[in-house]
Chain A
């Protein structure tokens, strides 16, 4: 079955530093979604990547989908305190989506 690893599990940064979380799959994916969950909140859809090698940007957030469609990354440039939360990748394979374990980001002002 599909094995998905999201790393790191936790990341603590100083405000202004960059942050990256990675999602790696053992199988080729149909697409991948990314969600953000603020502390005490619910997951909120950020973006969906479909094409091999796709790169999408949302302000300071850059999302990439690997050429082989087995991995993806979310990069945040110059983190702010509003970026705190848990970021989940949600790969889709064989028509089924599975939440990764998430990366929890804390930002020190």
Chain B
């Protein structure tokens, strides 16, 4: 009965590869997010979707492309992975459209680039 689930939990891959991370929430929330957390624990928002519509797109390289097939899913595809992409990526969701609602986070995907 996990609320926000991400797969995979760990991802180790070579520089230049393309990879995807999946996220699903069963809370009935309308808004979903992707965050990147670096080694210093800084948590930076990357994207936010509301009912499949992109509402936040921070300054993120074009190599990162989110996709929301429905409001319960938000996937993240990364092309041409670089060393600096190594981080923990968190998916989150919140109720409604307003971006000031409490967020529920997944367990994170630990991405390591060799």
Contact = CB atoms under 8 A, between A and B. Distances in A.
B31 to A, nearest CB: 11
Interface string B26-63: 00000000010000011111000000000010000000
Interface residues of A, number: 21
A45 B104 contact: yes
A86 B41 contact: yes
B43 A88 contact: yes
Given A96-B99, A97-B100, A42 B44 contact: no
Of A33, A42, A97, A102, most B-chain CB atoms within 10 Å: A42
B107 A42 contact: yes
Nearest to B100: A92
B48 to A, nearest CB: 9
A25 B35 CA distance: 21
A42 B100 contact: no
Contacts of A41: 107
B103 A42 contact: no
Contacts of B102: 33, 45, 48
Given A42-B106, A44-B105, A99-B43, 5 more contacts: A31-B100, A95-B98, A96-B100, A102-B41, A102-B42
9 nearest A-B pairs in the assembled complex, by CB-CB distance: A92-B100, A42-B105, A45-B102, A99-B43, A43-B105, A86-B41, A102-B41, A97-B100, A96-B99
Interface of B: 35, 41-45, 56, 90, 92, 98-100, 102-108
